[in-house]
Structure 1
């Protein structure tokens, strides 16, 4: 890879102010939303009267349209068209006029903005052209850019400083780039050499030199090594293993059903250092009358790992098949779509699968002793607005604190109410007392937690001055009930509120 050419490309992109803010200003927020839906006409209309370098670059590398040589030369004055061809960004369109040669983009190259613990920043990410630019279904070796799943995982990533991170199945390298902002070194693996080449291009393009790229399947390239953090958006999509159904490298792991996710969970234990955390996305099957969480429990048994799994969505097998067939670029209403649809439904029926769950998995190797955390929960509402990675790290700390202090220590703790928590009360018209009381969390996973009178009173008194034991005693006097019995009744709710981040321990 020609580092000098990549440096010139980086300089040209900076000079053109080729970023999210510039492009949104050129074509507007509605065009941004249209691109997310796979529609480029609004963005094209926004660019049609602009000769700005950023507009010319966006026509080629975001919208996937051919561009005249002179226009590209003007947009990339340092790299030049010959440099762009050498880097594999464009190729000359055969048959175009010698007087006005036309170039076809070969890669998607677009800015991506984000906010993490280090503040607001932006990457430029190269990936393969999608079906919008290609005009047909994507090929099996397609290297995906920044999509919804990758943004979900990067938002969940704990970004506290660590020595080493493994990005398992790096794809275009987006998780490795994020990890490099808080880790001394990052190892990124993938089964696709093309993915590794693009990921290495992205690392250089964004000025990051702390990532090592290794070719191989899953954990094979890091046999015998352990890491402080593992992040992975693995190829978890459940795909029929029959002839005629394409297997896309970026999403299909080659195993039957959800076996690949199970394997990643079980193998992670061999590659986490004591105290190390793995964060994964995954799918899991509901088979017959068996709850998927029972199957997930089985995956975790014997691993020696702490585990916190959050199921965010459950789809019928019909919805699931439609989603992923369209994801490959095959359009509904075609004979090919119907053929693939039948193959997916046959596969699910053969294994008794009725639904598929999707969610987040946080695994941790205990620093010493046996695992203490096994939490599986379903949260299908909107998430909060703050850093979800910070919330996950705080939840792990809260669990550890609760485990250390025990019931007596919790009763004697002086807790405070988090600043993002509000309370809702609903009344029947004319009634003095509320019929429903709910705590709502503004950040984190934006939980809604039901309250009864005693818990509401306790939460309202948690300002760090009085212990839970003292508050429960005062409430017991007001309600004319036994203080010890009320404290025992309240402690499970207090424990859950601490885990949820609604009540903050002294450690926070």
Structure 2
């Protein structure tokens, strides 16, 4: 692909529109592809194993099967079959767009072009949240038959979908997508924004972003070349999103530096630079969301390092940081050594030449800084609209989560702002309502009349489970919007025969927490 070619300009914009029409007419959708090769083969494809899918497609000549071979799996396909599957564009059009090349009677893919569901991202503007894009990216390891080149532009992976689902859904004017890659975050952000600026250090990535925007009929996305916030210096955005190249990589000879995951920083300095610098491009009230790694050094808590980065920002920031997992240095090293090349015979496979040397380089790098663990998680930062920062929440949430958390995060921010305006007397005058996804579980010792443990469980949101005492359980159970929190507390105090003022002082802070986390809402 010519990195200087602008897909969103000139006559090839019409060719891309024709490609979109051909893909639509061919029924080239995520469901059609999954149905074509079945659940087991679909799982195998996710593991980089294409054999079962190719076996399932053998002998099929329909358009969807042809496109699944060529554009989803990256397998050379007969030219006459491609011309039949894409009647407007044909093999010649794919070559003109640098998505494939023609080699005699065979069409050889030069990129992947895969259908991607986005129904789980919880965006605005759709009646049911369902939808699908076609996303072009570089050939993966299975299609290449070997390690990735260092300039590889990644397609849509698990981290991409995670951040897309985390994106806030409230409408805004301007969004900045830092390190856009194939453009998936920019496409997602555009659903809630009037315009998006997408940046990357890779011209090739920006070309894919432009192609994917035009292919999916999404306007209002502008691409700019550069690192971090350099391309937008002096500008302000209502929202910043980023799945940055945060992978911690040794800065030694012989260790590949993949652009899609490594920005050339030492240790976790890239995420530190993002956190401490993003405030300069945020408008008052603006938010930033990103994924990141942070190191645990000499036994010190990794979340405390993130606190230090937030404190280092020249623009005061609020922070909500959620650590999802923590890996030891060996597990982290093996994860990213395998990521770069998973085909047999490459350095990314255990037992092959060079594998031990690469893992050793990672371990030596960690040892030099006294790293004992590496955390991964979500960061939500906000520049206060006025006044000093109030939100500073650093927590670990390790339970499995559902899709589309963006709406939940937005509701939590709105609840935090509403609660900040209420003192305890005002909070006691509100009428709480228990959320519809909340259930209660009581655990009794054999023969015991009273429960030894009472739990409140959240079906949506961050799927929290809270252990509560009988007083708080009673308040939540009676929160139907009819009585105020103060009236409920007084009634519970009378029932339990305890001092009402003391119970109010105990329960109201916990009511605040339940409202923020989504167990309760204020009517």
Q: Under a length normalisation based on structure 2, what TM-score does the superposition of the two structures give? A: 0.94
- Conserved 8 A contact 1:285-1:353: yes
Stretches of structure 1 that go unaligned for 5 or more consecutive residues are none
Q: Does 1:310 align with 2:322?
A: yes
Residues in 1 aligned to 2:161 and 2:180: alpha-carbon distance in whole angstroms:
13
Residues in 1 aligned to 2:335 and 2:418: alpha-carbon distance in whole angstroms:
41
What pairs with 1:410-449 in structure 2 (closer than 5 Å)?
410-449=427-466
Residue matched to 1:366: 384
Aligned residue for 2:289, secondary structure, equals strand
Aligned residue for 1:260, secondary structure, equals helix
Residue matched to 1:168: 178
- The farther-off stretch of 483-492 and 29-38 is 29-38
Root-mean-square deviation (CA), in Å? 1.1
- Conserved 8 A contact 1:424-1:439: yes
- Count, aligned residues: 499
Q: Does 1:105 align with 2:109?
A: yes
Residue matched to 1:400: 417
Aligned residue for 1:283, secondary structure, equals strand
Residue matched to 2:345: none
Residue matched to 1:114: 118
Residue matched to 1:234: 244
Q: Does 1:450 align with 2:454?
A: no
Residues in 2 aligned to 1:345 and 1:38: alpha-carbon distance in whole angstroms:
26
Q: For 1:321-360, what per-residue CA distance to the aligned partner results, in whole angstroms no more than 9, with x for missing partners?
A: 1111111112222122111001000000000001000000
- Conserved 8 A contact 1:184-1:210: yes
- Conserved 8 A contact 1:241-1:256: yes
- The farther-off stretch of 232-241 and 33-42 is 33-42
Q: Does 1:480 align with 2:497?
A: yes
Residues in 1 aligned to 2:424 and 2:48: alpha-carbon distance in whole angstroms:
53
Alpha-carbon offset, residue 44 of structure 1:
1.3
- The farther-off stretch of 121-130 and 323-332 is 323-332
Alpha-carbon offset, residue 406 of structure 1:
2.1
Alpha-carbon offset, residue 183 of structure 1:
0.7
Residues in 2 aligned to 1:122 and 1:404: alpha-carbon distance in whole angstroms:
40
Residues in 1 aligned to 2:486 and 2:14: alpha-carbon distance in whole angstroms:
66
Aligned residue for 1:356, secondary structure, equals strand
Residues in 2 aligned to 1:358 and 1:407: alpha-carbon distance in whole angstroms:
36
Alpha-carbon offset, residue 237 of structure 1:
0.3
- Conserved 8 A contact 1:384-1:441: no
- Conserved 8 A contact 1:167-1:176: yes
Residues in 1 aligned to 2:422 and 2:275: alpha-carbon distance in whole angstroms:
29
Q: Does 1:353 align with 2:347?
A: no
Q: Does 1:219 align with 2:249?
A: no
Q: For 1:441-471, what per-residue CA distance to the aligned partner results, in whole angstroms no more than 9, with x for missing partners?
A: 0110000111111111111111111111111
1:333 corresponds to which of 333, 351, 376: 351
Q: Does 1:323 align with 2:335?
A: yes
Residues in 1 aligned to 2:164 and 2:205: alpha-carbon distance in whole angstroms:
18
- Conserved 8 A contact 1:167-1:188: yes
Residues in 1 aligned to 2:402 and 2:130: alpha-carbon distance in whole angstroms:
18
- Conserved 8 A contact 2:92-2:102: no
Aligned residue for 1:28, secondary structure, equals helix
- Conserved 8 A contact 1:310-1:379: yes
Q: For 1:252-275, what per-residue CA distance to the aligned partner results, in whole angstroms no more than 9, with x for missing partners?
A: 011110011011011110011111
Residue matched to 2:46: 36
Residues in 1 aligned to 2:142 and 2:446: alpha-carbon distance in whole angstroms:
55
Q: Does 1:284 align with 2:294?
A: yes
Stretches of structure 2 that go unaligned for 5 or more consecutive residues are 1-6, 342-347
1:377 corresponds to which of 395, 416, 426: 395
- Conserved 8 A contact 1:169-1:234: yes
